[in-house]
Structure 1
Amino acid sequence: CPKDCRCPPGTPRCAAGVRFTLDGCGCCRVCPRQLFEDCNKTLPCDRTKGLECNFGGRSGSAQGICRAKADGRTCEYSNGIHQNGEIFRPNCKHQCTCMDGAVGCVSLCPHQLRLPKLGCAEPERVKVRGRCCEQLAKTKCSAKTKHRKTAGRDKLSGDDLANRNELAPAGRGVKCVSQTTAWSPCSKSCGTGVSTRTSNRNSQCQLVKETRICEVRPCKKNDSKLKKGPQCDQPEEASRPAKLSHAGCRSLIKFRLRYCGSGSDGRCCEPHRTQTLPVRFRCKRGEVLTRMVMVIQSCRCHRNCSG
């Protein structure tokens, strides 16, 4: 490793479902290598997916190949068996990864949609022939969402402004159309993952990607007694408070999270209503960071498990 860290400017842009990490020297942010890709000291494998750099038993070798750890469990998904660390696409809208028995998926459809006209809170989405992802209709807008001047609009919260697509402050007296997408599904079906959304609620009024930590349910079945069956609207609380862990960092205080159960009739149970709270984390190197965390309020069941 170099004595002084010299890193390229900016944050690296990683593929869908891949989050940047520090290189093996702890210097620069890099995109972790995926299954069967080349790896070395400066290009580590994606540990969040159970991968490690395999040098083939050659001592002193500088190059290796990312392989799944021997103790990683396979995943059964969409009537198929996938190896630990394997990346696959069950449909044209999602890319999934098998992570030690749990499947995590991210959307391949762009979150940065065209801004609808002012007062159109629910623009119609239409399917375009030859394209997988839906597009926003250029002129169609629900009649019930026509723009209305409402007294006391300044008292609305940021989420209300986003839902109603009204004007949000953008600094120096400038206002812009508030545009915020829904949070994406959690990247992991169990354990700690991430979800993202796009919002322009900032001083520059620019669409930026926001990330929050999420956990739909724990991977260990004995951590909490979760409901099974058709009724899953009420989330279950963890048996005891615990600190949150993510990417080598732990929360400063303990939380008693709520989780969604699992349907026993073939349906999938997922969060329906959630809150997002700022939580302070302390990392291995001692730095304290603030991360947004999802808090489940209610759950729902459906049969569209593959997205």
Structure 2
Amino acid sequence: LYPIIEFCACFVLKKLVFALCPRVCDCQSEPRSCQVGVSLVTDGCNCCKVCARQVGDECNDQEKVCDPHRNLFCDYSGSRSGDLGVCRAQNGRPCMHDGTRISSGSMFQPSCKLRCWCMDGAEGCMPLCAHETQVPLAHLCPNARLQPVQGECCSRWVCDSPRVLIIAAFAFRTIASSVARGRGHRRSGCRQQASMWSHCTKTCGLGVSTRVSNANTECKLKREVRLCEVRPCHQAQSLTPKYGKRCMKQKRAPHKEHIVYSGCRSVRTYKPRYCGLCKADDRCCTPKTTRTSTVRFECEDGRAFYKRVMVIKSCRCHRYC
């Protein structure tokens, strides 16, 4: 009896949802992009693209959809009318950041330069000052250095020559247009260009790396994001040098493993290479050469998506930490 009642309730709910949907889709105000880290998803009417609502935002089953990639759902328990609910996270492992407990699905900002999310015990961060990790080319900007700007969070690049002053946005475009990759598309006349990938946002655990590239059908410079993991946080002992050595350059994982992201895991298993650790405080090991691989992720609820993932080919130990 209970399964029949539950089925009927779900059927009635779906009919009510679609009864509130427009008969004709009008997507003139459809956003092309959302804020950093916010997913662009299809609304509940399967009509238009919308920016997904985050934890604590108002929601409904039509145009105000909670972010499915952060495992959020619309909670109507506190709503008197039943028209609007509040986005809440499904039960997941919390994160600990600087001694503070952060619930799964919540967004937090450890500094003005980072925006982070807790996703089932794992932190994911996006840089808000991405241009700071893109050092200008030496012949365009000799002795480039970051200079704080009063009243602003992000710094700007300054060069030795007083005539060459590269501010944030200009520096980002200059680097992207100066670093050419390959000979480009001969048929379309589009010369492929891309900046270098930025450093991973986390020294251990899963983070993100960014760049700008025009390797797309529009041949326009767009921001690209890939997942990255320099080393796992729970394997520090195995990555520490032994037998009198100061640093361990790199090491492969002992066995194949799935990549876990936002509660979903990769279809294939991988045996990644990680950068080691150094005993000396003035030295560190970081990726030297990398490549980007496209990985398919599948979730328990049947959802599937693809993500770019950094693959470490070699590491180097240095003092420029």
TM-score range, shorter chain: 0.5 to 0.7
SS at match of 1:90: strand
- Other-structure match for 1:295: 311
Q: Is 2:211 aligned against 1:197?
A: yes
The partner residue of 1:103 within 108, 116, 123 is 123
2:271 is aligned to 256
Q: What is the aligned length?
A: 280
Residue 246 of structure 2 corresponds to residue 227 of structure 1: no
Give the alignment of 1:50-89 within 5 angstroms.
50-56=71-77, 61-77=82-98, 80-84=99-103, 85-89=105-109
1:132 match: 153
**How far off its partner does 1:234 sit?**
1.0
Cα distance in 2 for residues equivalent to 1:88 and 1:218 = 22
Q: Is the CA contact 2:239–2:277 (under 8 Å) kept in the aligned structure 1?
A: yes
Q: Quick one: which amino acid aligns to residue 133 of structure 1?
A: C
Change (3 A) 1:93 1:297: same
Mapped contact 2:118–2:124 kept (Cα < 8 A): yes
Whether 1:13 aligns to 2:41 is no
Contact 1:238 1:259 (C-alpha < 8 Å) held by counterparts: no
Contact 2:214 2:220 in 1 (8 A): yes
Q: Report the counterpart of residue 207 of structure 1 in structure 2.
A: 221
Q: Structure 2 CA distance, aligned partners of 1:298 and 1:202?
A: 28
Output the amino acid matched with 1:255: Y
Partner Cα separation in structure 2 for residue 163 and residue 226 of structure 1: 41
1:238 deviation in Å? 5.3
Contact kept in structure 2, 1:52 and 1:66, CA below 8 Å: yes
Letter in 2 for 1:8: C
Partner of 1:145: none
Which one-letter code corresponds to 1:20 in the other structure?
L
Q: What are the superposed Cα offsets for residues 178-234 of structure 1, whole Å, 9 maximum, x if unpaired?
A: 55143352589635x643211346687642112224345568x59x99535784531
Q: Which has the higher contact order (CA 8 A, sep 6+)?
A: 1
* Larger gyration radius, structure 1 or structure 2: 2
Matched residues in 2 for 1:34 and 1:76: separation?
Answer: 20
Counterpart residue identity of residue 6, structure 1: C
Shift of 1:260: 5.2
Separation (CA, whole Å) in 1 of partners of 2:239 and 2:192: 41
Deviation, structure 1 residue 168: 7.0
SS of 1:89's partner is strand
Q: Measure the CA separation in 1 of the matches of 2:195 and 2:112.
A: 24
Out of 285, 292, 299, the residue aligned to residue 277 of structure 1 is 292
SS of the aligned residue for 2:73 comes to: strand
Aligned pair in 2 of structure 1 residues 25, 122: CA closer, same or farther (>3 Å)? farther
Gaps of 5+ in 2: 1-16, 163-174
1:74, distance to aligned residue in structure 2 (A) = 3.6
Matched with 1:41 is 61
Unaligned runs of 5+ in 1: 142-160
Q: Could you tell me how far apart the structure 1 residues matched to 2:304 and 2:181 are? A: 34
CA distance in 1, matches of 2:291, 2:238: 22
CA distance in 1: counterparts of 2:95 and 2:302, whole angstroms: 35
Distance change (3 Å), C-alpha of 1:24 and 1:134: same
CA distances 1:246-299 after superposition (whole Å, capped 9, x unpaired): 6798767543223457899999x8852352334364878999987533102345
Q: Distance in 2 between matches of 1:211 and 1:38?
A: 28
TM-score norm. by structure 2 comes to 0.60
Post-superposition shift, 1:125? 3.4
Query: Judging changes above 3 Å, is the alpha-carbon distance between structure 1 residues 139 and 199 closer, same or farther for their aligned structure 2 residues?
Result: farther
Q: Distance in 2 between matches of 1:127 and 1:211?
A: 26
* Larger strand proportion of the pair: 1
